[in-house]
Amino acid sequence: QQQVKQSPQSLIVQKGGISIINCAYENTAFDYFPWYQQFPGKGPALLIAIRPDVSEKKEGRFTISFNKSAKQFSLHIMDSQPGDSATYFCAARPGGGSNYKLTFGKGTLLTVNP
């Protein structure tokens, strides 16, 4: 059972455009939702994260939108740049005693064309 579903699998955007990646989750015990960025040959790096008590969080060109009732969240990358080309993973983590265990989506390969 895939607990975090991510789409699209791949995405091509022109420089300056908006990249949008969507995730949906099933487990209502999740209470922390990070996004990770991974470049080839590197480990995932935390990009931005949100908790379900807010509907939006913005850091620079990166914004997370969160819809608790729909159990969905998305990453928006404004003014996309070629340097943003990477694989992006959404993830979710429960609260309580298992608050160390991240469940990842399958990833989205983003290509930003110059």
Partner 1 sequence: GAGVSQTPSNKVTEKGKYVELRCDPISGHTALYWYRQSLGQGPEFLIYFQGTGAADDSGLPNDRFFAVRPEGSVSTLKIQRTERGDSAVYLCASSSASGANVLTFGAGSRLTVL
Binding region for partner 1 (CB under 8 A): 4, 6, 32, 34, 41-46, 49, 89, 91, 98-107
Q: Which two tokens stand for residue 86?
A: 């990477």
User: Which residue's CB is nearer to partner 1, number 64 or number 91?
Assistant: 91
Least CB distance to partner 1 at residue 15 (A): 26
List residues bridging with 86 in a β-sheet.
Answer: 110
Least CB distance to partner 1 at residue 51 (A): 9
Nearest C-alpha neighbor of 24 from the set 88, 113, 91, 112: 91
User: Which residue's CB is nearer to partner 1, number 20 or number 102?
Assistant: 102
Least CB distance to partner 1 at residue 100 (A): 5
Other beta carbons less than 10 A from residue 14's beta carbon:
9
Nearest C-alpha neighbor of 111 from the set 89, 80, 90: 80
